[in-house]
Amino acid sequence: MNIPDKVVNRLTMYHFILEDIRDDEKYISSTKFAELLNIDNSQVRKDLKYIDNQGKCRVGYEVKTLKRKIEECLGFKKTKDAFIVGAGNLGSALAKYDGFKDYGLNVLAMFDKDIKKIGTVINGKEVFDISKVGNLASRLDVEMAILTVPREYAQGTANYLAGAGIKNIWNFTTCILDVPKDVKVWNENLIGSFLQFTNKDKDE
């Protein structure tokens, strides 16, 4: 089933909320989600229809079931292995963040071209020479790279990754990558995110 991006995003946030529910609370209402996320109640109910979950009248959604269904629907348990390419500030911060694993993202190793970084280990992830990425990608069957190199190296690195068999690039740089058709890029546009926030602020 094709779930729209915005719905995937909200389902994840419903899951964050469910994580914080006290053990003795068995049910949660759509109103609770709506209030915390500052969205319409009807939006919540529409979103939750995607995961085939029935809320009970006056009682709400059963917390454990809803949590499990979101996990199944979004594939938290189907682990995706990935490399972090660029062991700078952001790459290292992402490598040190253990939360990804709970949602199915498993970072196996890091890559850089800086000889001072190669061989170091960041939160259990070894930093390898970028020239080894193709070899390790095929040996470990990794198709996903998280790109955190400086902007000016982004396109060159993307070319290299494409040649090394990487099929999915989660791009944290502000360079829009020109890649072969069989490589998918997901732009993590923090600048755009900030501008969405501030432009919203301006309107009100």
Residues contributing to the site for its own copies (CB under 8 A): 2-3, 5, 8-13, 16-17, 19-20, 36-38, 74-75, 80, 89-90, 92-93, 96-97, 99-100, 103-105, 151, 168, 170, 174-178, 184-203
Residue 132 vs 187, nearer CB to its own copies:
187
Residue 82 vs 164, nearer CB to its own copies:
82
What is the residue whose two structure tokens read 């190199």?
Answer: 149
Cα 8 from Cα 130, distance rounded (Å): 33
Closest distance of CB 48 from its own copies, Å: 16
Closest distance of CB 56 from its own copies, Å: 23
- Give every CB contact of residue 14 below 8 A, 6+ residues apart in sequence: 33, 44, 47, 48, 66, 70
Cα 72 from Cα 187, distance rounded (Å): 25
Cα 202 from Cα 204, distance rounded (Å): 6
Closest distance of CB 81 from its own copies, Å: 12
What is the residue whose two structure tokens read 């309107």?
Answer: 203
Residue 132 vs 188, nearer CB to its own copies:
188
Closest distance of CB 34 from its own copies, Å: 12
Residue 32 vs 55, nearer CB to its own copies:
32
Q: How far does CA 195 lie from the centroid of its chain?
A: 20
Residue 53 vs 187, nearer CB to its own copies:
187
Handedness of CA 128, 97, 38, 68 (dihedral sign): positive
Closest distance of CB 131 from its own copies, Å: 25
